[in-house]
A and B are shown apart, each in its own frame.
Chain A
């Protein structure tokens, strides 16, 4: 997994790089727009981590040029500015995700993995959370090494929750992913599926838990969080 890290602060770049390398990413670090452009032309990157305030210009220009040239490499933007306008500008320019400084390196790697896990991303189609792995092509769920059997609907719920592990999945989005337009969704059927899935996960000693947040949605968290 080869990542281009564009960050002009040498110390920040060093530590972030160390963090990513510990997670088995291969990292090339550059400190200017000019070097970043050259790097992107010469090597195929799976993702780019891009700081916006660079000594020779705005990182957003690089991003715009990339997108204009039809390059769809996932880009995660790092910035010290948190104005809503800046965020919107960044996402409009084609950023895939956005992180405000300072950030936990652990979260950066988690978000990078999420980007790489997208349908055309480099990480393939295996999802992990706690001790669960979900092979989305073979439709197989494992807890540890043990393959477990769950219904198609429960699997669908689990997949959506694992794709956004640690974040809220709104109820209506979950429903729209799981049921066809003309299918009759009785109001409790999603809850019923979730509660069956929850019981099943406890049964097989999965280290994750599914939280129901009334009026908000559902969240799958690493079990230690209670």
Chain B
């Protein structure tokens, strides 16, 4: 509805109400005059007064009807606008997800073509490049999905299960890269208020990070711990690599920050970890691992 029409309608309704009020007031005065003394004209004036009352009531009712109609329409429009906004936001979020999906098939063509060319240094190198692009794509997808995640108050996730399953999932990669992996403290379920998919992605990124920055032949440790000493539960990933120097310990969680420019990562990994930790009301930090290396801790709030 146009703004001008709206104003006219409201003005009309207001006029009606004012008119109704004015006539009632007049009626009230007359009534006031009538009550104490003028009993002679009682019958006559009562009749005309009731006509007044009827007319006033009709006007007031009409005005109210118009007002409520207008209000209803306004509310409708508001709801429509909100839906449009939400749709736009959803579309924006879906865009990167859709793009990523659309890119999967051409990448699959590329990868299958390379695989069909047989083993040579060039095809191996190209396959690695395709894998790299694929990983960036996956990270974009994960990022757009975790941005949409709001952890519901009753949503529960088992840190122990997530640790064991993610370690099993990544073990072939870990072993292919000449490292080993272990999980500590996951003998019993450890429930936190959290979103399983998001937590899996956070852990996956921490382990992939550990593979990249640890030495061949070393073991990557995932450690889950329940609440102790006033701290909430936490999930740790420990590697025995070169560690993270103190001046970089905030920076590495920024988007597209990379510790080295070898270009083997997407620059989104640790950013995703931080985003997940924060969406769970917790935080992520990095320190020195006992015996050298990096120790990443995802700390959950106490109540969780």
Contacts and interface: CB of A to CB of B under 8 A. Distances in A.
Contact of A216 (B109, B113, B130, B164): B164
B180 interface: yes
Interface hub of B171, B180, B184 (most chain A Cβ within 10 A):
B171
Given A12-B108, A101-B104, A102-B111, A167 B172 contact: yes
Contacts of B184: 214-215
Contact of A105 (B107, B112, B167, B217): B112
B182 interface: yes
B112 A215 contact: no
B107 A225 contact: no
A219 B197 contact: no
B48 to A, nearest CB: 73
Interface in B140-186: 141, 163-164, 167-168, 171-172, 175-176, 178, 180-184, 186
A226 to B, nearest CB: 5
B175 A221 contact: yes
A181 interface: no
B105 interface: yes
Contacts of A16: 112
B101 interface: yes
B125 to A, nearest CB: 15
A100 B104 contact: yes
Interface hub of A9, A16, A168 (most chain B Cβ within 10 A):
A168
Nearest to B186: A215
Contact of B164 (A19, A82, A105, A215): A215
Interface string A22-63: 100000000000000000000000000000000000000000
A84 B195 CA distance: 13
B116 A216 contact: no
A84 B197 contact: yes
Interface of A: 9, 11-12, 15-16, 18-19, 22, 78, 80-82, 84, 100-106, 166-168, 170, 211, 213-217, 219, 221, 225-226
Q: How large is the interface on B (under 10, 10 to 19, 20 to 34, 35 or more residues)?
A: 35 or more
Contact of A103 (B108, B164, B175): B108
B115 A101 contact: no
A3 to B, nearest CB: 15
Nearest to A209: B175
A161 to B, nearest CB: 13
Interface in B175-232: 175-176, 178, 180-184, 186, 197, 216-217, 222
B134 interface: yes
Contacts of B130: 102
Contacts of B168: 167-168, 170, 213, 216-217
Contacts of B83: none
A116 to B, nearest CB: 20
Contacts of B167: 168, 213, 215-216
Interface in B84-120: 101-102, 104-105, 107-113, 115-116
Contacts of A80: 101-102, 104-105, 108
Given A11-B113, A216-B168, A225-B178, 20 more contacts: A12-B112, A16-B112, A80-B105, A82-B138, A100-B104, A101-B107, A102-B107, A102-B108, A102-B109, A102-B110, A102-B134, A167-B172, A170-B164, A214-B182, A214-B183, A215-B186, A219-B175, A225-B175, A226-B175, A226-B178
A9 B109 contact: yes
5 contacts: A102-B108, A102-B110, A105-B111, A106-B115, A170-B168
Contacts of B111: 102-105
Contacts of B112: 12, 15-16, 19, 102, 105
Contact of A211 (B107, B141, B180, B217): B180
A215 B109 contact: no
B164 A211 contact: no
Q: Which 9 A-B pairs have the closest CB atoms?
A: A215-B183, A15-B112, A102-B108, A101-B108, A80-B104, A168-B168, A214-B182, A105-B115, A102-B111
A9 B105 contact: yes
Contacts of A11: 109, 113
B1 to A, nearest CB: 40
Nearest to A211: B175
